[in-house]
Amino acid sequence: MIGTAVIRDGVEIGDATPNAIYPWWSFTKTVQAAAVFKLAEQGKLDLDAPLEGKSYTLRQCLSHRSGLTDYGGLAEYHAAVARGDQPWPFEEILKRTRADTLLFAPGQRWSYSNIGYTFVRQAIERATDSELRSALHATIFAPLGVHASLTRRRSDMQRCAFTNVRNYDPNWVYHGLILGTAMDATRLLHRLFTTNYLSQASRDAMMDALPVSPQQSAGRPFKNPMMATGLMFDPDGPLGPWFGHTGGGPGSGSAIYHFPERNLTAAAFSDETEDSGAIERLVLELAGA
């Protein structure tokens, strides 16, 4: 099954299953980053103060420049997920990844880290004195008119259109997992960059990016791939700049991207492949490339 949605010049173009619910996977990071910038504008978070007891900042966690390790490469993590084990406590993840030992000095370069985004989650929860589900609803979903929600229960996954994710425990995604329709994901990204929800300064800050190596982007349709702040970014795409986020989990994947020069945003969700490049190429096709 493939779910798609497009917003072109303000006109919404859905597919045959507009109410289908999908896991947004790592597009959740874009949502969290936008929420952090909104909270910073409100004076509730400081992007550039070191996290308590740490040498890295919230901004560096958002841009994957903290130096933190990641659990995505742990074979035992993937084995436990495949077996249907109970998710480990976050402290166990920190121990298994040796998160106290940074890969590099903060700000020196970038390395993808779900652990960094788990610290982002904790910062949002402290700043709003609420769980992430409530914080995201109040801070970003309601203001942007988006119907989506963070899930914390395996039973919530039964709502998903993809049958192969219905037994997945979302607590294995330590920074959080959002469920929603393809169109709501498209609306969120489109409205994030075509309305005044965030100041221009905040939107510009989200575009601060570092290059991605050819090895890291092999098989992907990016000409000049970069990692921005809560966003993946290619300034030299076939339709001009495009940015958003690709994600994936067991048996499925997602890609949601905005094309500012075309006033267009497109999303694709698939349970037919975990190949990020294939789903990104589908988004380009939807956009008219």
8-state DSSP, 240 = B
Q: pLDDT grade, residue 289 (50/70/90)? A: confident
Tell me which residue of 165, 168, 159, 136 sits closest to 27, measured CA to CA.
Answer: 136
pLDDT, one tens digit per residue, over 80-115 is 999 999 999 999 999 999 999 999 999 999 999 999
Query: What are the structural domains, with CATH classification, of the chain?
Result: 2-287 (3.40.710.10)
Asked whether residue 3 carries a pLDDT value surpassing 80, the answer given is yes
Q: Are 166 and 157 in contact (CB under 8 A)?
A: yes
Q: What is the pLDDT of residue 6?
A: 98
Residue 112: φ, ψ to 5°: -55, 130
Q: What is the pLDDT of residue 131?
A: 98
Which helix (H) or strand (E) segment holds residue 148: the answer is strand 148-151
Q: pLDDT grade, residue 36 (50/70/90)? A: very high
Share of the chain above pLDDT 90, in %: 94
Write a three-state SS string for the chain. CEEEEEEECCEEECCCCCCCEEECCCHHHHHHHHHHHHHHHCCCCCCCCECCCCCCEHHHHHCCCCCCCCCCCCHHHHHHHHHCCCCCCHHHHHHHCCCCCCCCCCCCCCCCCHHHHHHHHHHHHHHHCCCHHHHHHHHHHHHHCCCEEEECCHHHHHHECCHHHCCCCHHHCCCCEEEECHHHHHHHHHHHHHCCCCCHHHHHHHCCCEECCCCCCCCCCCCCCEECCCCEEECCCECECEEEEEEEECCEEEEEEEEHHHCEEEEEEECCCCCHHHHHHHHHHHHCC
CA distances to 5, 137, 174 from 131, rounded to whole Å, are 29, 10, 13
pLDDT, one tens digit per residue, over 183-216 is 999 999 999 999 999 999 999 999 999 999 888 8
What is the average pLDDT value for the chain, to the nearest integer? 96
Asked whether residue 288 carries a pLDDT value surpassing 80, the answer given is yes
Asked whether residue 274 carries a pLDDT value surpassing 80, the answer given is no
Asked whether residue 30 carries a pLDDT value surpassing 80, the answer given is yes
